[in-house]
A and B are shown apart, each in its own frame.
Chain A
Amino acid sequence: MAIIDKPQGGFIIVMSVLLAMIFMLMPLPEGLRYFRPEWVLLTLMYWTMALPRRVGVGYAWLVGLFMDVLLGGTLGILAFAYALVIYLILHFHLQLRQFPLWQQALSLMSLILLVHVITVVMTTKITGWHAWLPAIISTVLWPIIYIFLRGVRRTFHVR
């Protein structure tokens, strides 16, 4: 491995985020609507942890802006929330990488909850207990997503 890696595979990162966006929009059966994992946020979190120099706060802010438009929310709220969370991950990425997967998932749960708290505080949504379901589902799915994206990163040599 060279001492200074040339960045490569930016296309793969963009495609994975786009795919996550499509998953966010894909219609689910009525009963499962509240159980949708935060695909986009999880994907961003993975790339930030793996490649903190490539995917950072600016990237997260831009993606959050897109998500605001796609989900029809108030423009800027998700952008802010995503940027904040990705900043925290950037700050702690060395620690997070050392954790076993379940511990990583639990720490990420607190960050996903932070996103939900921000959107609940800043909008006039009517919420109930199921406002917190996506965070829990995302936590449960984190190990799978992590292993999958790691496979993608290694296959396509994204650095």
Chain B
Amino acid sequence: MYPVQLMASFPSDIGHWTSDYFQSRTDLKEQNVSLKATNLLNSVRLQKLASLERENMRLHELLGSSFRLSERVLVAELLRVDSDPFSQQVVINRGERYAVFEGQPVLDARGVMGQVMSVSHFSSRAILLTDPSHAIPVQINRNGLRSIITGRGLAKPLQLEYLPQNADIRVGDLLVTSGLGGRFPVGYPVGTISAISRPAGKPFANIKVQPAADLATSREVLLVLPRVDDDVIDPVDEIDVVEAIESVEIIDAFESIESEGVE
């Protein structure tokens, strides 16, 4: 199937390539300036992040629990291929050769995009958060309230399920992955609450969520790799969350921050 997919994406690849090639010098200069600015901002934030991470780990140590902080990722690109317009899927140019596996979380620069659904040798197919058959366990970043987000189809906001009418939620709350369920790593942004309505006579509030990731426009995606040094985590089988968290040593986490590398 990969050759057919490659052929289908070929014309738009060429278009992309030519527009890249003929980009004017001033455009590039402008882009360079803005990239430098964002890079500066990011590295300033990163300085702070390192110290905060250490502080966080010390606190967790005091509390007697260990904590997983960073994951390694594999950078992949979307193939310019359309799927069925009525289900939300994308095709990625990494497959079995790069040890992509079913259920692997897919992120972009801003947040969670979805997870890998099927893998072939050279490419794999990921299902997006907005697909009506996708659900992801999340918690509210502000107060740790746990729930589940389900997709509602293209161009419709996600839905936060099973929160009672009187739950402590506000418009603008950030939702992050909770790590329960074992598929997604803890703490990646999923979306922000965009609207809340509390219909009378219904047990649950009706909460709409705006996804954080650029589901429609992202080209580069990140595939989260399982930690190779943990024997407990078998990427193919279901992950036993409790065991996995307990088995990770804090020193491991330290080392992986320092040697963090994006492939």
Contacts and interface: CB of A to CB of B under 8 A. Distances in A.
A69 B8 CA distance: 15
A73 B82 contact: no
B85 A33 contact: yes
B87 A72 contact: yes
B86 A27 contact: no
Contacts of B7: 22
Contact of B152 (A30, A36, A71, A126): A126
Contacts of A95: none
B86 A131 contact: yes
A72 B82 contact: no
Contacts of A21: 4, 8
Interface residues of B, number: 26
A73 B88 CA distance: 11
Contacts of B80: 27
Nearest to B11: A26
Contacts of A23: 8
A21 B5 CA distance: 9
Interface residues of A, number: 25
Given A27-B82, A66-B1, A73-B87, 12 more contacts: A22-B8, A25-B8, A25-B9, A26-B11, A26-B82, A27-B8, A27-B9, A27-B80, A34-B85, A72-B91, A72-B125, A125-B86
Contact of A124 (B83, B125, B133): B133
Interface of B: 1, 4-5, 7-9, 11-12, 80-87, 89, 91, 117-118, 125, 132-133, 152-153, 216
Interface string A102-116: 000000000000000
Nearest to B132: A126
A131 B132 CA distance: 16
Contact of B84 (A18, A28, A73): A73
Interface string A5-44: 0000000000000100111111110100110100000000
